[in-house]
Structure 1
Amino acid sequence: MFLSIDFEDFSHDLKRDLGVWDTGPLRVDALWRSYEAIASFLGSHGGPNGQNVTFFCTGVVAEYAPDLVAHIAGQGHEIACHYHFHDSMDRQSTQTINEMLMRAKDKLQEAANTPVRGFRAPKFRLNRDTPEQYKLIERHFDYDSSSFFETADQCLQFSRSMSLSKLQLIPLLSSQYKGRGPQIRLGGTYLKFAPDTVARDLIAQANSSGMTPQIYLHPYEIVEPKEFWVRHRDLARLGTGKATYWAMRQNQWLRFGSTRLLGKLARLIPPDGLSGRLDQLVTAQ
């Protein structure tokens, strides 16, 4: 089982999503504390091969906190790309996407002093109806981990439909629990709310369907909610109604289930530990 971290600044990204600003200061101290908590967890629970995992970092983190990205890479973790800003790519033009991919990759490689081979789209949002966006990713990266499937065969068929020749897809699982109810993913809010029995069943399902089990987490799920909380007054320009809604909505990401998340993850890790970095799965072309 692999673990990956979508390493982003929730407070910065929420303000950008809501139009409060284009970009602004990052909560670098909170990002450092979240990394230290993750590193401590891996030291205790990662096992012999799972001390190092993959961090999908936004380019803006590398731009404003290059020493943090350098430290993460220096500790042996893989630095992969999570776009430059945490924007929804499916709403953007081909030109903008190409510019943001290049900008992010350059900043990440400069900070990490290591090649950046992998990519994951913010919010896992890509236009999957046509190949254009995947072709742009293929131009800059060796693998992509932005897609969800139920079986390895579905992933292979999708890769062929996108006419991908070099880009390797390393997907995540999305499936119903025992064939009933909504689609559930192994990570984020889904993992926080799912009982251990459901998560274990999905891990077993991934293995049986030829998928590599992978759990994804975020920095804001690791530390105290206040670390990344956007205050009501910072949202005031949205108007009273929207500001109140988004001030309360943050509970879903920052508060509910977060204090139990690392304990749950520890119970899900196999006896021999985590499997390591995602770039280990990239086959030679």
Structure 2
Amino acid sequence: MSLILSIDFEDMAHDMKRDLGLWETGPIRADALWQSYHDIDAFLRAHGGATGQKATFFCTGVIAEQEPDLIARIAADGHEIACHYHFHDRMDGQDITIVDRMLGRAKAALEDASGVTVRGFRAPQFRIDRTEPSQYRTVIRYFDYDSSFPAADREEVAAFRAAMDLGDFPILPIYRGQIMGQNFRLGGSYLKLFPGAMARRSIAAAEAAGFAPHIYLHPYEFTANGSYRLSSRERRPLGMPRALYWGVRQEQWHRAGNRSLPTKLAYLIGRDGLAGRLDDLVPTIKA
């Protein structure tokens, strides 16, 4: 079975400053995002195979508002534009009125920029409220499918859908496995730091669990030049201990395993290529 590849297309520098309380919002790093997109698109053209040269980009709305030409370019190149919320905020702690407003704002910005209907959604950090259904039902009002649910098997997805009374709303999970008792997801830093053979076993486990194997990545993982890092000057208002801590933590995201990622990803894709855009697969998605 061919791999699915999606990109959580976000500006980590902007989002990290928001998470750390350094600003509410500000300029995105447009040059870095453009370069990341060119690198990702070139990789897909070289390694995606006959059907997998197109992928799904879950984009934050703030990028569409500040750099609409980039979203337009991604869409014009044939990739799917999907929604990754407006800001890269954890939804699970937010009031439903904020969720509704941010979903509507993001969808409108992405559609205005791309000129296409945005069908898919993924919550930032996969953090959407799963204790009661109001946030998911709001997602259903705006979108045709969701990819915010890490799960170990299809039965878990079916049980969740029934418990939340989501009907037949399509959910495309990210596989959640375990290594030495610790949960991991098939993508992001986990994929960068795993040996290729371990990642391949995880892909096989996802297939055995009844999932179409799905890898997710981010723009900053396709570069090792630190273009999304927060500088020491930007971190200074945090105070010395926190500024040092977050300086070290950034190494995981912006350096460790980044240079080898394209080679590892090409190895995992293999001869079969990628499966293409998620919206093309929606009719096949089941519990």
TM-score range with shorter-chain normalisation? over 0.9
Partners of 1:133 and 1:172 lie apart in 2 by 19
Alignment of 1:126-145 (within 5 A): 126-145=128-147
2:222 pairs with 1:222:
yes
Partners of 2:235 and 2:169 lie apart in 1 by 40
SS in 2 for 1:33: helix
Which residue number corresponds to residue 92 of structure 2?
90
Partners of 1:220 and 1:208 lie apart in 2 by 31
Q: 1:5 touches 1:216 (CA, 8 Å); kept in 2? A: yes
Unaligned runs of 5+ in 2: none
Q: Which amino acid aligns with 2:87?
A: F
Q: 2:38 aligns with which of 36, 39, 55?
A: 36
The list of structure 1 runs, each at least 4 consecutive aligned residues, that deviate by more than 4 angstroms after superposition, is: none
Give identity over the alignment, percent. Answer: 51
Displacement of 1:284 in angstroms is: 8.7
1:199-249 CA-partner distances (Å, limit 9, x unpaired):
111111111121110000100011233211100111111111111111221
Q: 2:92 touches 2:127 (CA, 8 Å); kept in 1? A: yes
SS in 1 for 2:283: coil
Which residue number corresponds to residue 240 of structure 1?
240
Q: How many residues align?
A: 283
Partners of 2:127 and 2:61 lie apart in 1 by 17
Partners of 2:152 and 2:284 lie apart in 1 by 25
1:235-275 CA-partner distances (Å, limit 9, x unpaired):
11111111111122111111111111111100000312000
Displacement of 1:166 in angstroms is: 4.9
* TM-score, scaled relative to structure 2: 0.96
Q: 1:46 touches 1:273 (CA, 8 Å); kept in 2? A: yes
CA RMSD of aligned residues (A): 1.3
Which residue number corresponds to residue 16 of structure 1?
18
Partners of 1:58 and 1:42 lie apart in 2 by 21
2:269 pairs with 1:269:
yes
Q: 1:172 touches 1:186 (CA, 8 Å); kept in 2? A: yes
Partners of 1:161 and 1:93 lie apart in 2 by 21
SS in 2 for 1:176: strand
Alignment of 1:170-189 (within 5 A): 170-177=172-179, 180-189=180-189
Alignment of 1:160-171 (within 5 A): 160-171=162-173
